[in-house]
């Protein structure tokens, strides 16, 4: 569990100095409950086994008591928390993603940044085939080497430029880059991507 936590904290690429990011990181520590539950079950079995060997009748009764108790505990948790955890009628993220895509004109490109805009719009576009004429590009992921070969077949309007990967790589490491250069790089990147998208759109209309 210690190795898992240290490895995850090191690879999560999350700024621990920000309170919001600490809250995001805490959600992933729930995996540590799995080995704790397994160890608790092993401990109960170690306590139960000697009782069953010395007195089989008491062990049998205890076996059923523990089994029924575990079922009742689970039912109690479901009864108290099911209504809070039931998201079957919650369509906030779906509606949010549709609003983002609906705001883009026909055969356009949607540039997103952040978990909610990126995940909602990309899921609707590429999993549910909503607004198939729109290309959804994640500005945070596009700087990685694996992004272009994995996603270029999904894009119809968007064209990868030679400079975007270098600039986005510089923007990604904000701690190692002066803020003035970072801001300038982002502005230059957006202008370059906008010009590239404009050129692609004009070329598409000319051919059509």
pTM over 0.95: no
Question: Residue 96 has what pLDDT?
Answer: 94
The 10 Å CB-count burial string (b at 16+, else e) for 84-95 is eeeeeeeeeeee
What's the chain's average pLDDT?
A: 76
Radius of gyration of the chain (CA): 26
| pLDDT per residue as tens digits for the range 107-117 | 999 989 888 89
pLDDT band at residue 9 under the 50/70/90 scheme:
low
Bridge partners (DSSP) listed for residue 202: none
| Residues 183, 189, 191: CA angle, nearest 5 degrees | 105
| pLDDT per residue as tens digits for the range 154-202 | 888 887 765 444 444 444 444 433 333 344 445 555 555 566 556 566 6
Give the length of the chain.
208
Check pLDDT > 50 for residue 90.
Answer: yes
Q: For residue 145, what are the contacts with CB-CB under 8 A and spacing of at least 6?
A: 165
- Whether the Cβ atoms of residue 195 and residue 173 lie closer than 8 Å to each other: no
**Other beta carbons within 10 Å of 189:** 21
Both tokens assigned to 167:
């600039």
Instruction: Estimate to the nearest angstrom the gap between the alpha carbon of 64 and the chain centroid.
Output: 41
Q: Which tops the pLDDT comparison, 206 or 89?
A: 89
Check pLDDT > 90 for residue 131.
Answer: yes
**Other beta carbons within 10 Å of 135:** 22
Question: Residue 85 has what pLDDT?
Answer: 86
């Amino acid at each position: 569990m210690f190795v898992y936590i240290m490895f995850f904290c090191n690879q999560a690429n999350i700024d621990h100095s920000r309170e919001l990011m600490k809250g995001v990181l805490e959600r992933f520590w729930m995996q540590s409950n799995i080995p704790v539950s397994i160890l608790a079950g092993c401990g109960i079995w170690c306590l139960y086994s000697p009782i069953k060997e010395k007195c089989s009748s008491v062990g049998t009764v205890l076996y059923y008591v523990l089994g029924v108790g575990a079922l009742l505990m689970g039912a109690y948790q479901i009864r108290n928390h099911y209504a809070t955890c039931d998201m079957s009628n919650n369509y906030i993220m779906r509606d949010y993603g549709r609003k983002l895509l609906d705001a883009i004109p026909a055969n356009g490109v949607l540039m997103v940044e952040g978990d909610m805009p990126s995940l909602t719009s990309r899921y609707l576009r590429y999993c549910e085939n909503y607004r198939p004429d729109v290309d959804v590009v994640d500005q945070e992921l596009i700087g990685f080497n694996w992004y272009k070969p994995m996603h270029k077949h999904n894009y119809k309007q968007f064209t990868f430029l030679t400079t975007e990967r270098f600039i986005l790589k510089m923007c990604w490491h904000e701690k190692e880059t002066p803020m003035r250069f970072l801001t300038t790089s982002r502005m230059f990147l957006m202008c370059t991507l906008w010009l590239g998208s404009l050129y692609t759109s004009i070329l598409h209309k000319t051919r059509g």
